[in-house]
Structure 1
């Protein structure tokens, strides 16, 4: 069923140091500051975007977010790139900028390749190459040693 949604427009990420995070996202991903907001004496949030405004990353000071969530180690968003070559070039850029990142990881049949980059708070920004052809459903089971295996029948009970 098509409900008219075209894309995910914005992702909001809680951060401990707004200034540091704005500078990091601008430097690492080449984003520009599009908006900032807050009270009369303090900026509590910012929105960054690419030049074409295809996507927005909202950053909120953690102390202003209800529940003060921690996303350290969690990949809250995945950004898409057109090829594995672009992922390789990004990994080289991150190395030149001395930015921590994981290795290129092949996600298996039809899953593309990923590159993970933790932001200053440890929230992972995942970057994905295009997916190849795959079945309508693929399950992935991760073993205790990090190896993975694929399965084709959902384990969740679907209504």
Structure 2
């Protein structure tokens, strides 16, 4: 029996501690535009969803959940794709311009990678689709192909 087919990723939800601060930060860094809000039973808005240029139909959502945000500190729940090394370098320059610290451009398992943290310390990755051709499979923490 075959599995039903998925049609993409509907949304990526990131836990935050301060919704307004995160809306501003994701807007400044990614061009995030809020187009939906989620008020709780008490009427207080503790979640938003919106668009980010380049993500197509996939929405970015931010949800106040301090415990989850603390649990994700230093973890990278999502890697956003860019085409190649020049795009990673352009993002590094953009992050410099908006005052966001980041890693140097990294030769990752397959492509180039840039790592930086959101205001809650959640690591975000920008990873290139284009490969660099360097075999990193002997390095701890780097990926290696498996036989199928």
TM-score range, shorter chain: 0.7 to 0.9
Structure 1 runs not aligned, ≥5 long: 143-147, 155-159
Q: State the number of aligned residues.
A: 141
Q: Which has the higher contact order (CA 8 A, sep 6+)?
A: 2
Residue 131 (structure 2) aligns with: 132
Residue 28 (structure 2) aligns with: 27
What is the TM-score with the length of structure 2 in the denominator? 0.81
CA, structure 1 residues 129+73, in 2 after alignment: closer, same or farther (shift >3 Å)?
same
Equivalences for 1:14-93 in 2 at 5 Å? 14-39=15-40, 41-51=43-53, 53-63=56-66, 68-69=67-68, 70-93=71-94
Q: Does the 8 Å contact 1:114/1:128 carry over to 2?
A: yes
Residue 115 (structure 2) aligns with: 116
Deviation at 1:3, TM superposition (A): 2.8
For the aligned residue pairs, the C-alpha RMSD in angstroms reads 2.7
Deviation at 1:9, TM superposition (A): 2.4
The alignment partner of 1:27 has SS state of helix
Q: Partners of 1:95 and 1:80 in 2: how far apart?
A: 19
Q: Partners of 2:81 and 2:142 in 1: how far apart?
A: 24
The alignment partner of 2:131 has SS state of coil
Q: Does the 8 Å contact 1:139/1:153 carry over to 2?
A: no
